[in-house]
Structure 1
Amino acid sequence: MTLLWIAFAVLLLPALWLLVLPLRQARKLHDRQQDFEANDTSAEQNVAIFERRLTSLEAARERGDIDDARFEEDRLELERSLLEDTQNLKRRPLKKYTSGRFVVPLVMVSVVAVSVVWYQFQGAEGDLMLLETRREVQADPDASLAMYIERMETQAERQPDNPNVWSELFPLYRETGQVEKAANTLERLIDIEGRVAPLLAQLAQLRFFMAERELTSEVQALVDETLEQDPRQPTVLGLLGVHAFDRGEYETAIDRWRRALANIEEEETASSLREGIRVAQRRMGVEPEQADTEQAQGPGIRVDVSLDKSLADTVPDDATVFITARDMEGELPPLAVVRAQVSALPMTVVLDETNAMSPQASLSQVQQTRLIVRVSRSGQATPQPGDLFGDLDGVTVGPVEEDEAVEVVVDRVFE
């Protein structure tokens, strides 16, 4: 933090120098102005102009060009003009060049004070303290996870309203088995950030496992609140899949986990869900390798997905593949989504109601669909420049036949 304040001081120095600059030039400007006023001949020039015009006016009267009444009128106008010009040239006496100097130090102090106060409210001093704490622990030869947690708890006392402190503490408590502290930390984070779906989902999951995988009234309330905000929230869908699996409702568990897979970006979590799906399929007496291609529920589509050979070397094997079915008009959410990896290509998948992301949008609602296959290097669900894709329009939705499949080749680059 000392370096930060030194940097602020260095940045303020040019501003303070600019404020002092007028003081350094005040005497020189005062002398120039005084000299100008002392040698100003504007009044004499105006009088000379007046006299020349008056002489011309008298000569015109003598020639008979104007009468006495016109002469008096024009002379009065000249006198009035001279008077006005002379009055405009009157100046107030110059003040001393030292007058008003006290204002500059006040402005300088105000600039520094306002800058400091503004940073206190709008800056990220608290986050810099967290970074400094992390570095201190990493540099300590006796560093340990317990020491890091202790330092972060100290920061939480100093910065009770900084959400980043609680975001740092929550996984630390969870990983060290301090689940009650983890739950309290998450609740504090929700108080600060608001009741947003991702945080509510994490709290629901934590309370679910704390209750020994029971869907208590508290957990159910959190689940309902989360799904009301985001029906595709993967953490909650994964939790509901676990609950269904424990009760022997394997088809429901598979449905929940598949819907969660369509929205998960972390490969480790996705692998766990895929393993859970395979276990549930074995419990149902279905061979896992046949489950995706033979166990269609309701109307669907069998899809052969492959990657163009010319693009095969441009993406890693662990890049994510999104296989999506959408309505032809593009007005509904995705009707079905399957997630895989490039290493699995070429592959055959069946899209049906089990792959639906919500009950309100599934393949049973349409007769034709558009298939889109996208390869994402980042694993993000939102298309990014550089992603690979292939699509096929007007695919008929109906009973899934084992020997009938449509082919989609990933052969283009998303710009």
Structure 2
Amino acid sequence: MTLLWIAFALLLLPALWLLVAPLKRARAVHDAQRDHETNDRSADQNVAIYQRRLASLEAAFERGDIDQASFEEDRLALERSLLEDTERLKRAPLKASASGRLAVPLVMLAVVVASVLWYQHEGAEGDLALMAVRQEVMSDPEGSPEMLIERLEEQAARQPENPNVWSMLFPLYRDGGQGREAIDALERLIEIEGRHPQLLAQLAQIEFFVAGRRLTDRVQELVDETLEKNSSEPTVLGLLGIEAFDRGAYQEAIDNWRRAIAGMSDPASGEALRQGIQIAQQRLGQEPEGDVAVEEEPQGPGILARVSLDEELAGRLDDNTPVFVVARDMAGELPPLAVARLTLGDLPTELVLDQRHAMSPQANLGQVEQARLVVRVSESGQATPQPGDMFGQRGGVAVGDTDGEPVEIVIDSVVD
């Protein structure tokens, strides 16, 4: 920031020099003007011209070329013309060459102050401060998202009207599981930037997940407002697809996710939704579109898990009963970070959960250091728990390399 102000000072120097430069020539200009006024013979020339014209007019009157009335009228016109010419030649007293010098420092000060105030209002000083904060945290050996959030919160207190502060804080809060703080930051951004569809869609999405994946009245209002402004907004359509999927309306989820994918500018960002469509089609008993994504090599950080069924629960359900393995953030405020589908006959088995299993572009296992695993055997095939479903869960599971020992998860409970 110091270098910036030094650069401004260097840019102001030529402007200040242009204000001072005329003072150096003030004496010479004053003397030249005084000499010009002293030697000016314009008044004498005007009087001589008047006298010649008057003599000519008198001669014409004596010859009888004009009558008395015409003579008087023409003489009056000559006198009026002489007075006008003489009036224009009158000059104000010439001021001293040193007069007005005190105004120059005042003007220079005004230029500097006006430049600083204009830059503070229209310039990007705040954005430069944000960039400096980010670079400082990134270069710090102990830098972390928490440190960046703390520094950005300090900037938010200093420049609360800068939308870039809130646009940087919002994803940090969201990805860090601070749902309420993310909502506050996004609402502040909307207050500054206006109710744009993409911002309203993000607010609806975070409100949806903070509310436990429920379509509350508040979320519905935001969804309606967003779709009124942009009926193909992909974030809201993806949200509606997740909500429909959770209540078992798989065809509705498929339709919303297809519309969401069609509105995405980046085709790659719709891959998670395509996988969701395949899962929904499987639950409807349909042949999934395309090939179900299966990759030998893991993608990004993940979890190696071993899922088994407690012996006391064996034989309660058919081997074809769906089994859903879901990874969530510890606070439960983000979309599912990963979802895998098995059958009861596959157990016991080992599987890797990673970014291939993300249900939303905004949430994947790479965003967290720890996750909570929930395994549920769903006799009805519904995404929401039903009485009689069997389940098992484990919290605080580290996310990282998938080459070590698997995390054991035993299905040992029944939903009442």
TM-score range, shorter chain: 0.5 to 0.7
Residues 1:127 and 2:122 are matched in the alignment? no
Q: Contact conserved, 1:46 with 1:82, CA < 8 A, in 2?
A: yes
Q: Contact conserved, 1:34 with 1:94, CA < 8 A, in 2?
A: yes
Shift in alpha-carbon separation, 1:94–1:286, aligned structure 2, 3 A:
same
Residues 1:262 and 2:262 are matched in the alignment? yes
Amino acid corresponding to residue 45 of structure 1 in structure 2: Q
Q: Contact conserved, 1:58 with 1:71, CA < 8 A, in 2?
A: no
Determine the C-alpha separation between the residues in 2 that align with 1:50 and 1:200: 84
Q: Contact conserved, 2:204 with 2:236, CA < 8 A, in 1?
A: yes
**TM score, norm. by length of structure 2:** 0.62
Q: Contact conserved, 1:257 with 1:273, CA < 8 A, in 2?
A: yes
Residue 175 of structure 1 and its aligned partner are, at CA, apart by 1.6
Determine the C-alpha separation between the residues in 1 that align with 2:255 and 2:66: 114
**Runs of 5+ in structure 2 lacking a partner?**
292-416
Which residue of 2 is the match for residue 166 of structure 1?
Answer: 166
Q: Contact conserved, 1:234 with 1:261, CA < 8 A, in 2?
A: yes
Q: Contact conserved, 1:167 with 1:189, CA < 8 A, in 2?
A: yes
Q: Contact conserved, 1:200 with 1:222, CA < 8 A, in 2?
A: yes
Determine the C-alpha separation between the residues in 2 that align with 1:248 and 1:71: 112
Amino acid corresponding to residue 273 of structure 1 in structure 2: L
Shift in alpha-carbon separation, 1:208–1:31, aligned structure 2, 3 A:
same
Which residue of 1 is the match for residue 4 of structure 2?
Answer: 4
Write the deviation string for residues 29-81 of structure 1: whole angstroms up to 9, x where unpaired: 1111111111122233334444545555666677x466895897466765665
Determine the C-alpha separation between the residues in 2 that align with 1:3 and 1:123: 15
Which residue of 2 is the match for residue 322 of structure 1?
Answer: none
Which residue of 2 is the match for residue 104 of structure 1?
Answer: 104
Aligned ranges for residues 213-362 of structure 1 at < 5 Å?
A: 213-289=213-289
Residue 258 of structure 1 and its aligned partner are, at CA, apart by 0.4
Amino acid corresponding to residue 157 of structure 1 in structure 2: A
Shift in alpha-carbon separation, 1:242–1:60, aligned structure 2, 3 A:
closer
Which residue of 1 is the match for residue 145 of structure 2?
Answer: 145
Determine the C-alpha separation between the residues in 2 that align with 1:69 and 1:215: 106
Residues 1:181 and 2:181 are matched in the alignment? yes
Determine the C-alpha separation between the residues in 1 that align with 2:201 and 2:11: 44
SS at match of 2:128: helix
Amino acid corresponding to residue 125 of structure 1 in structure 2: E
**TM score, norm. by length of structure 1:** 0.62
Amino acid corresponding to residue 178 of structure 2 in structure 1: Q
Determine the C-alpha separation between the residues in 2 that align with 1:197 and 1:71: 85
Determine the C-alpha separation between the residues in 1 that align with 2:132 and 2:290: 53
Determine the C-alpha separation between the residues in 1 that align with 2:81 and 2:221: 89
SS at match of 1:207: helix
Determine the C-alpha separation between the residues in 2 that align with 1:68 and 1:250: 114
SS at match of 1:288: coil
Shift in alpha-carbon separation, 1:260–1:84, aligned structure 2, 3 A:
closer
Superposed CA RMSD: 2.8
Write the deviation string for residues 114-140 of structure 1: whole angstroms up to 9, x where unpaired: 222222222222111101111222232
Shift in alpha-carbon separation, 1:241–1:16, aligned structure 2, 3 A:
same
Residue 165 of structure 1 and its aligned partner are, at CA, apart by 0.7
Amino acid corresponding to residue 22 of structure 2 in structure 1: P
Residues 1:42 and 2:77 are matched in the alignment? no
Shift in alpha-carbon separation, 1:221–1:69, aligned structure 2, 3 A:
closer
Determine the C-alpha separation between the residues in 2 that align with 1:58 and 1:172: 100
Number of equivalenced pairs: 290
Residues 1:94 and 2:86 are matched in the alignment? no
Residues 1:17 and 2:17 are matched in the alignment? yes
Determine the C-alpha separation between the residues in 2 that align with 1:282 and 1:31: 99
Which residue of 1 is the match for residue 388 of structure 2?
Answer: none
Shift in alpha-carbon separation, 1:98–1:248, aligned structure 2, 3 A:
same
Write the deviation string for residues 201-259 of structure 1: whole angstroms up to 9, x where unpaired: 22222222223322233322322232232221211111111121122221111111101
Q: Contact conserved, 1:166 with 1:188, CA < 8 A, in 2?
A: yes
Amino acid corresponding to residue 41 of structure 2 in structure 1: T
Residue 275 of structure 1 and its aligned partner are, at CA, apart by 0.4
Q: Contact conserved, 2:61 with 2:71, CA < 8 A, in 1?
A: no
Determine the C-alpha separation between the residues in 2 that align with 1:194 and 1:203: 13
Q: Contact conserved, 1:57 with 1:71, CA < 8 A, in 2?
A: no
Shift in alpha-carbon separation, 1:261–1:99, aligned structure 2, 3 A:
same
Which residue of 1 is the match for residue 411 of structure 2?
Answer: none
Residue 168 of structure 1 and its aligned partner are, at CA, apart by 0.4
Determine the C-alpha separation between the residues in 1 that align with 2:185 and 2:71: 97
Shift in alpha-carbon separation, 1:67–1:141, aligned structure 2, 3 A:
closer
Determine the C-alpha separation between the residues in 2 that align with 1:67 and 1:248: 116
Shift in alpha-carbon separation, 1:60–1:192, aligned structure 2, 3 A:
closer
Determine the C-alpha separation between the residues in 2 that align with 1:23 and 1:275: 77
